[in-house]
């Protein structure tokens, strides 16, 4: 069997292993190495020397990995400033749309066009129409306090 065919098989196997590894792990690290292995396989298909196959596989992987880190750093920096999931509600102001009553465990608030179940931080009822501020999030409920005007 020709060395170029063997290298093509090796590169494809490496790429498949990286892609499978990407599917079972978090993040986007292994995918770039799989794409680098595909580039190495293309060089093997073109019957280029093994050193060039390795060089292109490493270069493609490194460039894609580096670019993805820059992209994800920007995305995660923006998300951490805005807060993630329900945590973005902390500090926001809203209005009580259903009386918050600790005795009946009922109450709803509207914050930034979203309606949430809510509890009073003081454990006291808050009447419908009152302005509130979100103090924290517990599960799917906002913990609020009456907004001082």
**Each residue's pLDDT tens digit, 54-64:** 999 999 999 99
Residue 39 CB partners (closer than 8 Å, separation 6+): 56, 57, 60
Question: Which tokens belong to 56?
Answer: 């292109």
pTM value?
Answer: 0.51
pLDDT at 110: 93
**E strand intervals along 60-113:** 93-101, 106-111
> Has residue 112 got a pLDDT over 60?
yes
For 4-16, how does the pLDDT look when each residue is reduced to its tens digit (9 = 90+)?
A: 899 999 999 999 9
Q: Could you tell me whether strands 93-101 and 114-120 are parallel, antiparallel, or unpaired per DSSP bridges?
A: unpaired
Question: What is the CATH number assigned to the segment(s) 86-146?
Answer: 2.40.50.140
**Whether pLDDT at 100 is above 80:** yes
Whether pLDDT at 82 is above 60: no
19-28's contacts with Cβ under 8 Å and 24+ in sequence apart are 28/68, 28/72
At residue 87, φ and ψ (nearest 5 deg) are -60, -20
- What's the mean per-residue pLDDT of the chain? 87
Tokens of 30: 């292994």
Where exactly are the structural domains of the chain?
3-82, 86-146
**pLDDT of 34:** 95
The DSSP line for 17-82 is: HHHHHHHHSSSSSHHHHHHHHHHHHHHHHTT--HHHHHHHHHHHHHHHHHHHHHHHHHHHHHHHHH
Task: Return the closest-CA partner of residue 79 out of 88, 71, 70.
Answer: 88
pLDDT of residue 66: 87
15-36, pLDDT tens digit by residue? 999 999 999 887 778 899 999 9
* Tokens at 36, concatenated: 């680098």
pLDDT at 51: 95
């Amino acid at each position: 069997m020709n060395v170029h065919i063997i290298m093509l098989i090796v590169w494809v196997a490496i790429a498949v292993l990286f892609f499978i590894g990407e599917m079972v792990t978090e993040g986007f690290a292994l995918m770039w190495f799989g794409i680098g292995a595909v580039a190495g396989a293309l060089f093997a298909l073109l019957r280029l020397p093994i050193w060039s196959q390795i060089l292109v596989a490493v270069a493609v992987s490194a460039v894609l990995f580096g670019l993805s880190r820059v992209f994800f750093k920007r995305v995660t920096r923006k998300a951490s400033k805005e807060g993630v999931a329900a945590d973005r509600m902390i500090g926001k102001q809203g209005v009580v749309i259903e009386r918050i009553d600790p005795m009946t465990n009922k109450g709803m608030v509207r914050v930034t066009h979203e309606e949430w179940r809510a509890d009073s931080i003081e454990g006291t009822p808050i009447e419908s129409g009152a302005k509130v501020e979100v103090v924290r999030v517990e599960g799917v409920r906002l913990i609020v306090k009456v907004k001082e005007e």
